[in-house]
Amino acid sequence: LLLLPKDIFLVEFKPVVKIGLKENINSNKVKMCYGSKYFFNKSSCEDISSNIKVTGEVDINNVGNYVLVYTIDYKGISKTLNQTIIVYDNESPVIDFLGQDGVNKCIKGNIYEPPFKATDTQDGDLTNKVKRKIDGDYYVYSVSDSSGNKTVARRFIINNDVVPPRIELTGGSEIYLVLNEEYVEPGFVVSDNCDQDINEKVIISGTVNSQQEGTYFITYEVTDASNNYTSVVRKVIVGKQKQVIENKVVYLTFDDGPSIYTEKILDVLKKYDIKATFFVTAQFPKYLPVLNRIHNEGHSIGLHSYSHVFKKIYANENNFFEDIDKLNEVVKEHTGTYSKILRFAGGGSNRVSKFNPGIMTRLAKRVTEKGYIYFDWNVDSQDTSLTDSNKIADTVIKQLKGKQLFYIVLQHDNKIANVKSLEKIIEFGLENGYVFKPLSTNSPVVHHRINN
Ligand SMILES: [Zn+2]
C-alpha cells in the first residue's frame, strides 16, 4: 500500500490540482489547501484550478521522492511553488512457511528446515534476505524491505526428528521378467530430512530366481539416525511371457470433503464420465447435502472421519468408532445407504497418533473385524504441500507411469489446486488407456506399513 504522508496537502494530482491562495494574493505565502473541493481566500471564494499549471509526475506505484512544480497565474501575478511528494511503502514483507510444521533439530545437531518464502509488494522476492536465529524453542525468521518495514515470524523447534527417510524405487514397484531374463537391480533414490549419508544405510534383501516362474520380493529398508524406519518392497514377477499391461486402473480418491469445491470436482468427473471415491468428513457441515449428489452420480463414498481431530479420534478405540459411526449415520441420511469402506485420517501409516502407542495397529485389526475395508494409497498427489495445479498433475502423472496394475491416487477435496489439476490427470489417463473406477469392497487394496 502506498500512501502520501499526512503533511502533504494535496487533494488530487491529476487532471485538476486544487491549490488555493490563502489570505492575500500579494502575500508571499502560498499554501496548499485540502479537504474541500474549491479553494478560496477568506474574503472571496474562488476556484482557481484553471489558473494553475502543474509539471512533474508522481508514480504512486513506486517508492520515491517526486517533485511537482505549480505555476500560478492569478490577476497578473505569477508564482511558482515546488512540492515534494514522498511516496512510501508501509506494507511489511510476508513470510510463508511451506511443508511440515516446525523445524527439526536433528540428532547430529543440524537443523532441518522445511522451505519458506518471503515476498514484498515493493521489493518482490526477499527470501534470500531472511535472517534466521534460534530463540529458545523457536526458530525466528526476520526480514526487512527496502523501506524498512520489518516482518518477524517463527517456527517451533521439534527437538527430535520424526520424519522417516523416503525410498523411491527406480523402475517402479512391480517388474515383469520373461523366464531366464536376468534380474538387474534398477536401484533406488533415498533421501532423508536430517541424514546426508543415508544412501549407505539402505539394506536390500530378497532374491529373484529368473529360471523359475513365480513372484519374488525385494525389500529395501533404511533407518535414519533418529531411528525412523522406512521399508518398501519391489515385486518381481517371472513369467513365461511378458505380461501385457493394459487397462491399468486408476482410483481417484478425494479426502476431507465435502467442501466448497466438491461440486466443481463432480462437474469435472461428469464431463469425462468418470467415477471416483470421496473419503468424507463432516468438517464443513454446510456442504454435507452434496453427499447426495456424489452418491447419485455413481461415485463411492468412504468414511474418513466425522471430526478429523487426531487428538480426539485416536485417543482410544471407542472414540474412533463413535466418530466413524456418527459419520456413517450422516452418510446414510444423505444417501440412503451406509458405507463399508474407510480411510484413516492421516492414513494407516500416520505418526500423529503416536501419543497413543499401538492405536493404529489395534484399529487396523478392529475395522477389518467390523467388516470395513480400509484403503491407503500408492500415488500421493502431494497436494497438501503443492499449490500449483500443474505440479500436482505432473506429480500424479509421473507416478501413474509406474509399473503397477492399479493406482489409488490421494487427493484432497478441499484444495482448489486439485480441481484444476484434475482435467490434466484424467486426460492423461484416458489418452493412455487407463480405466477410472470407484473403490468398492471388492477393489484391490493398498495398505501402508503401520507405524504405530
Ligand atoms: Zn484427511
Amino acid 424: pLDDT = 94
Side-chain half-sphere exposure of 159, counting CA atoms within 13 A? 3
Write the pLDDT tens digit of every residue in 256-286. Answer: 999 999 999 999 999 898 999 999 999 999 9
Q: How far is the CA of 259 from the centre of ligand 1 (A)?
A: 12
Say yes or no to pLDDT of 310 above 90: yes
Q: Residue type at 196?
A: Q
Amino acid 377: pLDDT = 95
Q: How far is the CA of 321 from the centre of ligand 1 (A)?
A: 16
Q: How far is the CA of 343 from the centre of ligand 1 (A)?
A: 8
Amino acid 19: pLDDT = 37
Across the beta sheet with 214-223, the strand order is 174-178, 229-239, 214-223, 203-205
Say yes or no to pLDDT of 219 above 70: yes
Amino acid 61: pLDDT = 72
Residues of the chain with CATH 2.60.40.10: 166-239
Q: How far is the CA of 298 from the centre of ligand 1 (A)?
A: 22
Q: How confident is the model at residue 443 (pLDDT cuts 50, 70, 90)?
A: confident
Amino acid 24: pLDDT = 33
Residues with CB under 5 A from ligand 1 (ion): 255-256, 345
Q: How far is the CA of 223 from the centre of ligand 1 (A)?
A: 27
Mean pLDDT of 117-142: 92
Write the pLDDT tens digit of every residue in 96-109. Answer: 887 777 888 887 77
User: In this structure, which topology does domain 249-436 adopt according to CATH?
Assistant: TIM Barrel (3.20.20)
pLDDT higher for 277 or 156? 277
Amino acid 385: pLDDT = 87
- In CATH, the number for domain 2-89 is 2.60.40
pLDDT higher for 29 or 241? 241
Burial category of 258 from C-beta neighbours within 10 Å (exposed 0-12, middle 13-18, buried 19 and up): buried
Write the pLDDT tens digit of every residue in 373-416. Answer: 999 999 999 998 888 999 999 999 999 998 888 899 999 998 88
Say yes or no to pLDDT of 358 above 90: yes
Cβ 169 vs Cβ 162: under 8 Å: no
- CB crowding 185-197: b at 16 or more within 10 Å, else e: eeebebebbbbee
Mean pLDDT of 40-55: 56
Q: How far is the CA of 21 from the centre of ligand 1 (A)?
A: 68
Q: How far is the CA of 345 from the centre of ligand 1 (A)?
A: 5
Mean pLDDT of 165-175: 82
Mean pLDDT of 109-119: 85
Q: How far is the CA of 412 from the centre of ligand 1 (A)?
A: 8
Say yes or no to pLDDT of 201 above 80: yes
Q: How far is the CA of 364 from the centre of ligand 1 (A)?
A: 16
To which residue does cell 518482490 refer? 124
Q: How confident is the model at residue 362 (pLDDT cuts 50, 70, 90)?
A: very high
Write the pLDDT tens digit of every residue in 221-234. Answer: 999 988 888 888 89
Amino acid 246: pLDDT = 55
- In CATH, the number for domain 94-158 is 2.60.40
Q: How far is the CA of 312 from the centre of ligand 1 (A)?
A: 14
Amino acid 49: pLDDT = 60
Write the pLDDT tens digit of every residue in 9-22. Answer: 333 333 233 333 33
Q: At what angle do helices 317-335 and 359-369 cross, to 10 degrees?
A: 40
Percent of the chain with pLDDT over 90: 46
- Please provide the average confidence, as pLDDT, over all residues in the chain: 83
User: In this structure, which topology does domain 166-239 adopt according to CATH?
Assistant: Immunoglobulin-like (2.60.40)
Q: How far is the CA of 270 from the centre of ligand 1 (A)?
A: 24
Instruction: Report how far residue 187's alpha carbon sits from residue 370's, in angstroms, rounded to the nearest whole number.
Output: 40
